[in-house]
Structure 1
Amino acid sequence: MPRKPMKPCKHPGCALLTSGRFCEVHAKQHAATVLSSTEKGYDGRWRKAKKKFLESHPLCVRCMKVGELTKANVVDHIIPHRGDMNLFWDESNWQPLCTRCHNRKTRVEDMQILYKY
């Protein structure tokens, strides 16, 4: 059976080929930066707030802009909170999205470079 093709390491500037996301050199470095969903703030309190928000905002705002009515099942942070708990819990920074719209938005955001000065 053919093996999965090797891909370049996802660490910026590293061209080593790997079968995973990161090469052996960078895998340990990135494992320490990955937090669980609970550590990011997505706990029982979040699940309750999300449920309440989606009950009062049941439709995807992006689909509505193009005239479609799609049930929202994701509460998206309009401005990515990046660990800022004040921004995380700010309901004015929340929007209801369907999974398709949320995945598109997240993919675009993940392609952007985040500069930290």
Structure 2
Amino acid sequence: MSDTKRPWLRWYGLARWKRLRESQLAAEPLCARCLASEIVTEATVVHHRKAHKGDEALFFDPANLESICKPHHDRDGQLEDHGKTVIRYDASGWPI
């Protein structure tokens, strides 16, 4: 998709985002979703908790960021971005 339809895509290339991303991963180096299930996994992706939908303030808001692993981002994060509900489970298999 072109920048005219999703101009916020260019924000991912900005030094401001790269610094914020690195800061988030340094502060929370483990996947928050794996930890909820008592699994220790390195976080490699910074996910927006609430979909920013082109809102620049929400995009760069540190409180809106979550460190997660790529499998969680690819599966859960994308569903959430499209308004779907994701059920998470603890280590014993119970929903949390």
> Which TM-score applies when normalising by structure 1?
0.61
Structure 1 portions without partners, runs of 5+: 1-29
- Counting matched residue pairs gives 82
CA RMSD of aligned residues (A): 2.1
Shift of 1:55: 0.8
Structure 2 portions without partners, runs of 5+: 85-96
Contact in 1 for aligned 2:8/2:54 (Cα 8 Å): no
Residue from 1, 9, 20 that aligns with 1:37:
9
Cα distance in 1 between the residues matched to 2:30 and 2:40: 7
Shift of 1:74: 0.8
Cα distance in 2 between the residues matched to 1:104 and 1:33: 24
Cα distance in 2 between the residues matched to 1:36 and 1:88: 9
Q: Percent identity of the aligned residues?
A: 32
Show the 5 A alignment for 1:19-98: 32-35=4-7, 37-38=9-10, 41-42=11-12, 43-98=14-69
Q: What do the CA deviations read for 1:26-81 (whole angstroms, capped 9, x no partner)?
A: xxxx755244731xx11221011101110111000000001100000111100000
Max Rg structure: 1
